[in-house]
Amino acid sequence: MTPAVDSVVLTTLAANPAILPFAILSGLVLAAVALSLAVLCRARTLVRDAMEASRADHAHGEAAVESLRLELNGLAARLQEARLEVPPPAAPGLPRPGLNLSKRSQALRMHRRGDAPVEIASALGVPLQEIDLLLKVHRIVISNI
């Protein structure tokens, strides 16, 4: 400061001693207002950045949801096509009757003639395992007589 300003300040302070606390108080208030304005500007910037980030996330989320929706619709269409293409499973058929008396006697007659078990099974329409079992049981019965 210049000497003239210093002398004015000193004379003012000498004339009224209560001015110094008010000067300090007004300086502190002015500093608090400046700090408040700075914090307010910073808070406003942070809120704006958060809103922009939120909009970007929202747009990204909407794009992801739309992508998933399209994929789901495609999968639903493929599932519908698959349901139309594949015929429903056939009801399980009734169990085939095993060897009845006439088939049993025919199988034994063919075996006595010398036909192979495979030929007997195909001629009578009976599984080969049943013919083999019949022949084994027949041999056991014959050996016990």
Spell out the residues 6+ positions from residue 76 whose beta carbon is closer than 8 angstroms to its own. Answer: none
| Tokens linked to 116 | 């192979």
pLDDT in tens, 62-98: 999 999 999 999 999 999 888 887 666 665 655 555 6
HSE, CB side, 13 Å, CA atoms: give it for residue 37: 6
Percent with pLDDT over 90 in the chain: 46
Helix (H) and strand (E) counts in the chain: 5, 0
**Where residue 28 falls among pLDDT bands split at 50, 70, 90?**
very high
Spell out the residues 6+ positions from residue 118 whose beta carbon is closer than 8 angstroms to its own. Answer: 128
pTM of the full predicted structure?
0.39
Distance CA 99, CA 105 (A): 9
* Helix 128-144 vs helix 117-124: crossing angle, to nearest 10: 120
Q: Using an 8 Å Cβ cutoff, are 131 and 122 in contact?
A: no
pLDDT in tens, 32-62: 999 999 999 999 999 999 999 999 999 999 9
